[in-house]
Structure 1
């Protein structure tokens, strides 16, 4: 598959990565890391150089905070809004958010004086994401992925499921496999994701608050971990699951975000229950009214979330 131009827009890059991942879903993290370095490394270096010019008095800590804030907000706005209105575009939205997070990590590397376009950055991205435990293991995996030639790609549905599942882990929409967490929390995350997906089939804008919150939380955590990593602190997750610890339990902010997401789901559900319970009809039938109620309530939830996100980004 021919690579897209280096200056291709983000949408074109996301489409390319998604097609490549569907052809070889087993090597998604390695493919993404290599692609990010080759196609986003120079953009990351340019962005950091521009930030230094625009903020000459800012130290590395201030620049890193700017990078993390920008990366988090871009992943929220682009990733959530792309996938929100149309559930079938959720894999594309995941891919867009992953590329945004990768660029954020490369920009943080640039802040600390590292060259974002160097191949070594790919292994570092995999370690920061918790895919591998150290750079040597990650580098070996990158070499193995480059040399691998799958005999035949899996069926499209199977490949899509594997890619979406791995993307959800990498993005932090659900807790990554290598991170200590209780079974109850992990099961609850997948149940919530499945519920949002099913409801999103008929009320798609409920994806907006769910993905927006997930990207906000995961992007902030990833940025802080990447910044600490490039400062020489050991913050990478273990490469193999370990016994859950207190650190793996749900935190108050996560509980609050989950409750907000559940509330966004309950709005359209409650509206439907109200229509059914009252026996209300439109044009002699119940289904036209149900369709209008679902679309209206879903739009209201998505609009409120979007306005809150927009107001927060300008504060």
Structure 2
């Protein structure tokens, strides 16, 4: 059975394309709405099956699972050329959001709480602090509501796609422009895409664990000694 949550839904792609300036915020809001329940159910199911499972062990399971997804996404984009590169960074950012929500659930944070969207934007370094992330999320949410009443941006498609690719690449941690550009170069693109995705996702997993681990400690389950 295909994993329906593995890629952003069509409606989200439309919103991000039409409003590329707030693409990360649209993605974070949709991720919490759509992926949060999945992460919550996954954590609860694993705890029920293995009551002795420690939060750090559960978090590592989540990180390993989605790191593998990130590697695959990089290889696919490398073979697909420029449209594939835009698709890849969106799928990568979505995969990373899914991973963060699972790690949050592993450590006892509610993955469906609106604060998780703020966490995503700070962890993925779209915003430096939670306050500005919350403000941007509020703007994006308002623009979502306005989209149902008014025609969206008149930005030419090519320009919108370029802005979207840059925003999503920044969110996914692919900050060097040459890494994104390399995805359209035959041969080397597959290797570089896979490496960039793995590296960025592994770093994000560490930041997420550092953010959510204190919640497990406060709940009376200190991390195990490695």
1:27 and 1:145 in contact (8 A); partners too: yes
Q: Name the residue aligned to 1:75.
A: 70
Q: Name the residue aligned to 1:164.
A: 165
Q: Name the residue aligned to 1:247.
A: none
| Cα distance change of structure 1 residues 223 and 56 upon mapping to structure 2, 3 Å threshold | same
Q: 1:14 and 1:81 mapped to 2: Cα distance?
A: 21
- The one-character-per-residue Cα deviations of 1:47-68 (angstroms, maximum 9, x if unpaired) are 2223334444321111111111
Structure 1 residue 134 displacement after superposition: 2.5
Q: Name the residue aligned to 2:220.
A: none
Q: 1:66 and 1:12 mapped to 2: Cα distance?
A: 20
Q: 2:137 and 2:180 mapped to 1: Cα distance?
A: 30
Write out aligned runs for 1:84-95 (5 A): 84-87=78-81, 88-95=83-90
SS in 1 for 2:155: coil
Q: Name the residue aligned to 2:41.
A: 46
Which has the higher mean CA deviation after the structures are superposed, 52-61 or 109-118? 52-61
Q: 1:144 and 1:192 mapped to 2: Cα distance?
A: 30
Residue 186 of structure 2 is aligned to residue 191 of structure 1: no
* Partner residue of 1:143 out of 132, 138, 144: 138
Write out aligned runs for 1:109-120 (5 A): 109-120=104-115
- Residue correspondences, number: 207
Write out aligned runs for 1:1-315 (5 A): 9-10=4-5, 13-77=8-72, 79-87=73-81, 88-148=83-143, 149=146, 152-174=153-175, 189-194=176-181, 196-199=182-185, 203=186, 205-232=187-214
Structure 1 residue 153 displacement after superposition: 3.4
TM-score by length of 2: 0.82
Q: 1:29 and 1:10 mapped to 2: Cα distance?
A: 17
Structure 1 residue 132 displacement after superposition: 1.9
Q: 1:43 and 1:126 mapped to 2: Cα distance?
A: 20
1:14 and 1:92 in contact (8 A); partners too: no
| Cα distance change of structure 1 residues 151 and 50 upon mapping to structure 2, 3 Å threshold | closer
Q: Where do 5+ consecutive residues of structure 2 fail to align?
A: 216-226
2:7 and 2:91 in contact (8 A); partners too: no
Q: Where do 5+ consecutive residues of structure 1 fail to align?
A: 1-7, 175-188, 234-315
Decide which structure has the larger Cα Rg and report it: 1
Larger RCO, structures 1/2 (Cα 8 Å, 6+ apart): 2
Q: 1:13 and 1:191 mapped to 2: Cα distance?
A: 25
2:122 and 2:133 in contact (8 A); partners too: yes
2:66 and 2:96 in contact (8 A); partners too: yes
- The one-character-per-residue Cα deviations of 1:51-98 (angstroms, maximum 9, x if unpaired) are 334444321111111111111111211x12332321122212221111
